[in-house]
Structure 1
Amino acid sequence: MLLKSCELPYRLKYYQSLSGRASMSRKQIKDQAIYQAGYHGECLFAEMIRSYEHATVLWDITLSNEKGESQFDFIVIHDYSVFHYDIKNFKGKYQQNGDILVSQTGYNVKRPDMQLSCAHNVLEAAVKSYDWQYEVESYLVFINETFYFEGVRSPHWLYRSLLKQHLAAYENSHLMLSRNKQLGQFLINNHQPNVHLDVPIKTAFSEVADGLKCPLCLKKITITFDGKKYYSCPICKKVVSGKELLLSNLCDLYYLKGAPFSIREAESWCNSPSRTTLKRLLKANFKSTGQKKAVRYYLEN
């Protein structure tokens, strides 16, 4: 049971909004690729764990206590055990050089075992403060099927080939789902999002192109709103509803500006659609601040 899910991180929303509106730097492209791969790996694990109804699953939790602060990709509660899974979407062959993992392509990453240990201590302290009877286990999950390590594998490493067998333990239940759900809710209540860790490399808003962009192919397009419910993208030819088209571009405006915007800014950004339609969409999907002509719209990140 997925008690807490995770939507697309703000960092990736920003880069998706920027795509097609400005040329991205090499650093931005690299940053997007790294975080996109990481999120894709988490999505793969979420699909694998989703079917185990007897397990209480939390996706993306940050906890802070006397042991420190850590972000957890997945926490799974089953019977009297709490499992932490740190997902790594590394591709290809790696070998160890000191405390560094080196890929065949020359990509270097610090061996993540120490980070796992620190996170384990934070989670264990949080769980024991709720109920000392629960035991905590932590694992690094190398979710990509192509990952291969030349060296001694830690017992806390799980390869994709071992994952199905490991997760099969969640098929059995001792009927503690209600109690485990309460522990899961306790951890959710103590979740402290670390927004400073989810910051993209930004482009000045003045350098970003306004106008409409297809939410499917992410290309800039020219469409005249004439009251139809659906519109065909001139580039990818796929059909999208007018509501989805406008909402996607309004989200682009907020993420790229990085601040609340006015109805006039929204009209200009979206090539002057119906103000009534815009207001209806903004009221249903955005928060607002201010009154009358000073109203500004924003999203909760």
Structure 2
Amino acid sequence: MEGERFFDNFLQLLPDCQYLKRIEFGEFSFVEFDFIVFTCEALYIFEIKHYRGPYLLEEGSLVHQYNKKIIHKNPFNQLNRAQLLLQSTLQEIGVDIPVISALVFTHPEFTLLNPLALKKQGTVLLRSELNQLKQKLKAGCFKRNSHIMNKLLRKSSPCKNKYIKVERLPFDTMKSGLRCPKCQKLTFAPPLARKRLWQCPHCKHELKQVDLIHHNLIELFICKGEPFSLSEAMKWCNCEKGNNNQHKMLYRILMTTFKHVGITKDRRYYLEMELW
């Protein structure tokens, strides 16, 4: 995660960079992409590794120099599989654009003792070499790339086919509001952004408001059965439309406790859990 955060911050510093992170594709077996970056010339896949210490490539595997522990069996197998799957997905949605992939080592104390052996298999970038990406990842073709990103988001499957199917009521027919984890009764009062403790008006049970909202957001994901947006979370928790404090509070909870795909307005939140 530390490596992904570092690379995410690096991309955010690039002017108008368009990218997706932690997005999955697949029907029966799934491939997660750390980052897909969109430019006019190509789509770039970046697989992030945050290993520390001196490593060698021996018989296709990354091996620590001193303890000879295999840290990764041929990291390019995973990357090549991801590239083939993305190319196939692009063909399905009618997009013809090259796909380029690279393995990125983000730890400042990572050392590759036989770099040529690894670089013969594909593109490898160390943390000190990331500046060379700035020109390659030059922004442009915003309208076209936004169109491709939206199509890929609709094809992504962070939850689809991974969980047990359950019968659900139509999502739009479900009542919104905050449900007490103890008595399971709804209250329709909106959460107070500056209040730390919440008391159920029915059973007087007290808990942290953050925990109450988190509990209700999990319920939202289970009831909907697929990733949801921040606006849907606001509506589900009965937040006041246009209330910036409530908006910030829910956004903070979602970003720290849920996984997500997409960026800005297209971002959707989900959990990796079995839905019984």
1:109 to 50, 72, 88: 72
Superposition deviation, residue 186 in structure 1: 0.7
Query: 1:190 and 1:253, CA in 2 relative to 1: closer, same or farther beyond 3 A?
Result: closer
User: What is the aligned partner in structure 2 of residue 183 from structure 1?
Assistant: 148
TM-score w.r.t. structure 1 length? 0.53
User: What is the aligned partner in structure 2 of residue 163 from structure 1?
Assistant: 130
Match status 1:96 vs 2:57: yes
Superposition deviation, residue 59 in structure 1: 0.9
User: What is the aligned partner in structure 2 of residue 58 from structure 1?
Assistant: 20
Residue 39 of structure 2 contacts residue 137 of structure 2 at CA under 8 Å; is this kept in 1?
Answer: yes
Match status 1:142 vs 2:112: no
- Greater Cα shift, 107-116 or 182-191: 107-116
User: What letter is aligned with 2:208?
Assistant: L
Superposition deviation, residue 100 in structure 1: 2.4
Query: 1:187 and 1:156, CA in 2 relative to 1: closer, same or farther beyond 3 A?
Result: same
Give, in whole Å, the separation in 2 of the partners of 1:185 and 1:101.
Answer: 36
Match status 1:72 vs 2:33: yes
Residue identity over aligned pairs, in percent, reads 21
Give, in whole Å, the separation in 1 of the partners of 2:141 and 2:86.
Answer: 20
Query: 1:196 and 1:131, CA in 2 relative to 1: closer, same or farther beyond 3 A?
Result: closer
Residue 76 of structure 1 contacts residue 83 of structure 1 at CA under 8 Å; is this kept in 2?
Answer: yes
TM-superposition CA deviations, 1:46-67 (whole Å, max 9, x none): 110013344321011111269x
Matched residue SS, 2:21 = strand
Superposition deviation, residue 176 in structure 1: 1.2
User: What letter is aligned with 1:61?
Assistant: I
Give, in whole Å, the separation in 2 of the partners of 1:93 and 1:194.
Answer: 37
User: What is the aligned partner in structure 2 of residue 213 from structure 1?
Assistant: none
Give, in whole Å, the separation in 2 of the partners of 1:140 and 1:251.
Answer: 38
Residue 95 of structure 2 contacts residue 148 of structure 2 at CA under 8 Å; is this kept in 1?
Answer: no
User: What is the aligned partner in structure 2 of residue 203 from structure 1?
Assistant: none
Query: 1:254 and 1:159, CA in 2 relative to 1: closer, same or farther beyond 3 A?
Result: same
Give, in whole Å, the separation in 1 of the partners of 2:94 and 2:13.
Answer: 27
2:8 to 46, 56, 72: 46
TM-score w.r.t. structure 2 length? 0.57
Superposition deviation, residue 79 in structure 1: 0.0
Residue 64 of structure 1 contacts residue 70 of structure 1 at CA under 8 Å; is this kept in 2?
Answer: yes
Residue 37 of structure 2 contacts residue 137 of structure 2 at CA under 8 Å; is this kept in 1?
Answer: no
Residue 83 of structure 2 contacts residue 101 of structure 2 at CA under 8 Å; is this kept in 1?
Answer: yes
Superposition deviation, residue 254 in structure 1: 8.1
TM-superposition CA deviations, 1:42-99 (whole Å, max 9, x none): 1111110013344321011111269x64110100110031000011111111113323
User: What is the aligned partner in structure 2 of residue 87 from structure 1?
Assistant: 48
TM-superposition CA deviations, 1:151-172 (whole Å, max 9, x none): 223241111111121233233x
Residues 102-251 of structure 1: matches in 2 within 5 Å? 102-103=63-64, 104-105=66-67, 106=69, 108-151=71-114, 152-154=117-119, 155-171=122-138, 173=139, 175-193=140-158, 241-242=196-197, 246-250=208-212
TM-superposition CA deviations, 1:211-235 (whole Å, max 9, x none): xxxxxxxxxxxxxxxxxx67xxxxx
RMSD of aligned alpha carbons: 3.8
User: What is the aligned partner in structure 2 of residue 214 from structure 1?
Assistant: none
User: What letter is aligned with 1:142?
Assistant: F
- Deviating runs (4+, > 6 A) in structure 1? 251-256
